[in-house]
């Protein structure tokens, strides 16, 4: 099997943050893929509950200077990095003072859904792709995990489709059911379009719920992990926790890369 460059984008990852079962898989899978002689990168949000000192996060100055525009507001993006020594992996964290410097992840101390989770999602998805551009690292596979990554397949197939760094990349989207029950607000589809994407492409975001996010991710991904089997033309892989699970993912990646663009 040829050596591949695999980018993992996740909303959480142990030991830094675990809210759901996404965090555990997001930790194990990249290491397993790397140990099969592949090159990996990992991106996640720098939520405020992630302890920078304990996890030894530090800013990557050469990646500074990126602004993410949402609704004509410029939001500065700071990139930080930490190393998992035992796994010989680096994890990049996307940070912004307004969106992520709070003690809680998606809900406040009264368990109310943050009213800017829509913009936090857009910021993270677009910020992740801008970070990879600035890194100048060309992934073969982009594997998105968790609802907060759902817009990335859409952006890759629209706004970023002609970017050289993403030109040959295949996108895999992992669906984890029932991630949130709340709503991202009536303006979510319009904001997510970034004043560029045709309204027909974001119609599934109209209800601003988790189902719409999943549909958007599934529709624009090249392969889906654990999704309904009626996605025509999609390669479907069930989540697998056996000892051979890494081989199943590598086989999926290889199958995608062998397909004609």
**What integer pLDDT is reported at residue 235 of this predicted model?**
61
Asked whether the beta carbons of 152 and 182 are under 8 A apart, the reply is no
Cis omega (within 30 of 0) for bond into 107: no
Q: Identify the residue whose tokens are 């809900």.
A: 107
In this predicted structure, the answer to whether residue 158 has a pLDDT above a threshold of 60 is yes
- Helix, strand counts (H, E) of the chain: 8, 10
CATH code for position 77: 3.40.50.2000
**Cα–Cα distance list, 33 to 146, 164, 235, 255 (Å):** 18, 24, 19, 15
Number of domains in the chain: 1
Tell me the average pLDDT of the chain. 85
Q: By percentage, how much of the chain surpasses pLDDT 90?
A: 35
In this predicted structure, the answer to whether residue 7 has a pLDDT above a threshold of 90 is yes
- The boundaries of the domain holding residue 95 are 5-258
Confidence band, pLDDT 50/70/90 cuts, at residue 253: confident
pTM: 0.89
Asked whether the beta carbons of 169 and 142 are under 8 A apart, the reply is yes
pLDDT in tens, 218-233: 999 999 887 444 455 5
Closest among 34, 118, 134, 19 to 79, alpha carbons compared:
134
pLDDT in tens, 16-61: 767 777 777 778 888 889 888 999 999 989 886 677 777 687 788 8
């Amino acid at each position: 099997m040829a050596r591949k460059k695999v980018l993992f984008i996740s909303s959480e990852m142990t030991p830094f943050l675990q809210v759901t079962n996404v965090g555990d898989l997001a930790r194990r899978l990249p290491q397993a893929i790397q140990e099969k002689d592949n090159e990996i990168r990992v991106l996640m949000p720098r939520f405020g509950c992630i302890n920078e000192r304990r996890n030894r996060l530090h800013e990557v100055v050469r990646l500074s200077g990126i602004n993410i525009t949402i609704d004509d507001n410029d939001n500065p993006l700071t990139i930080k990095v930490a190393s998992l020594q035992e796994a010989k992996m680096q994890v990049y964290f996307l940070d912004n003072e307004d969106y992520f410097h709070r003690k809680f992840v998606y809900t406040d101390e009264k368990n109310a859904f943050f009213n800017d989770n829509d913009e936090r999602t857009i910021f993270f998805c677009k910020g992740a792709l801008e970070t990879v551009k600035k890194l100048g690292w060309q992934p073969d596979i982009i594997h998105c995990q968790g609802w907060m990554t759902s817009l990335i397949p859409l952006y890759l197939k629209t706004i970023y489709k002609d970017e050289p760094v993403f030109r040959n990349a295949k996108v895999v989207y992992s669906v984890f059911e029932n991630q949130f029950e709340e709503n991202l607000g009536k303006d979510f589809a319009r904001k997510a379009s970034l004043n560029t994407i045709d309204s027909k492409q974001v119609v599934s975001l109209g209800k601003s719920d988790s189902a719409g996010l999943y549909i958007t991710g599934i529709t624009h991904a090249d392969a889906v992990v654990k999704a309904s089997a009626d996605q025509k033309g999609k390669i479907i892989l069930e989540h697998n926790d056996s000892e051979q699970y890494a081989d199943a993912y590598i086989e999926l990646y290889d199958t995608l890369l062998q397909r004609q663009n």
